[in-house]
Structure 1
Amino acid sequence: MPTSSLYDRLVALPAPDPGIDASVPPEIIAFNVSVTRRLRSWKKSTLADMAGISLSTLERIERGEKVQPEALDRIGAAFGFEPGYYTAARRPLMPEELAEPENNPYPHIVIVKVSPLDNQAKLRSLAGCDLVVHAPLGGDPEPSSLVSGLFELIEVLAFRLAAGPLLKSSSLGGLRELYRLIFSHLEDMRREGLGVVFGVELDTSSGPPRRVGIVGIAHRDADPAVRARKVLIVDRRHFSGADDQGSQAS
Structure 2
Amino acid sequence: MVMEQPASPETFTLDPASIANFVKLQRQIWGWKQQALASEAGVSLATIQRIERGERVRPAQLRKLAIAFRRPEDEFLRERVRPTAEQFEENLRNMFSWTEGRVPVDVAPFRTELQLRAMLESFSLLVDADLEATADGDISELREWLDLASFVQAERKGLIGPKPGRDFKVRELWRDLLACVERIERTHGAICLTGTYTAMSTPNNEPVEIALLAIRSRNRDPSVAKLTQLWADEMVDQRQMLADYFADER
Residues 88 and 226 of structure 1, relative CA distance in 2, 3 Å threshold = same
- What residue identity is the alignment partner of 2:185? R
* Matched length: 181
Matched position secondary structure for 1:224: coil
Bigger Rg over Cα: 2
Query: Contact between 2:30 and 2:224, CA under 8 Å: does it hold in 1?
Result: no
Structure 2 regions of 5+ residues with no counterpart? 1-22, 32-62
Aligned equivalents of 1:238, 1:86: Cα separation in 2: 37
Amino acid of the structure 2 residue aligned with 1:223: D
Matches within 5 A, 1:28-107: 57=66, 60=69, 67=76, 70=79, 84=83, 89-90=88-89, 105-106=97-98, 107=100
| Cα distance change on mapping 1:242 and 1:60 into 2, 3 Å | same
Code of the aligned partner of 1:117? F
> Are 2:229 and 1:231 equivalent residues in the alignment?
yes
TM-score normalised according to structure 1 size:
0.56
**Does residue 164 of structure 2 align to residue 168 of structure 1?**
yes
**Structure ranking higher on relative contact order (CA contacts 8 Å, 6+ apart):** 1
1:176 deviates by: 1.2
User: Greater share of helix residues, 1 or 2?
Assistant: 2
Q: Which residue of 1 aligns with 2:128?
A: 135
Residue 115 (str. 1) matches residue 108 (str. 2): yes
TM score, norm. by length of structure 2: 0.56
- Distance verdict in 2 for CA 1:86–1:68, change over 3 Å: farther
* AA of the residue aligned to 2:114: A
Number of the residue aligned with 1:242: 241
SS for the counterpart of 2:209 is strand
Q: Alpha carbons of 1:58 and 1:210: their partners in 2 closer, same or farther (altered >3 Å)?
A: farther
CA shift for structure 1 position 133: 0.8
Task: Write the distance in 2 (CA, Å) between the matches of 1:60 and 1:87.
Answer: 28
> Identity rate of aligned residues, in percent?
18
Residues 30-64 of structure 1: CA deviation (Å, up to 9, x unaligned) = xxxxxxxxxxxxxxxxxxxxxxxx897476487xx
Aligned alpha-carbon RMSD (Å):
4.5
Q: For 1:86 and 1:229, how far apart are their aligned partners in 2?
A: 34
Aligned residue number for residue 198 of structure 1 = 194
1:216-238: CA deviation from partner (whole Å, max 9, x where unpaired): 10122112222221011234578
Displacement after TM superposition at 1:202 (Å): 1.0
Query: Which residue of the partner structure matches residue 6 of structure 1?
Result: 29
Q: Post-superposition shift, 1:188? A: 1.1
Task: Rate the CA distance shift 1:113–1:86 in 2: closer, same or farther, 3 A.
Answer: farther
Q: For residue 207 of structure 2, what is the aligned residue in structure 1?
A: 209
Alignment gaps of 5+ in structure 1 = 9-53, 74-82, 99-103
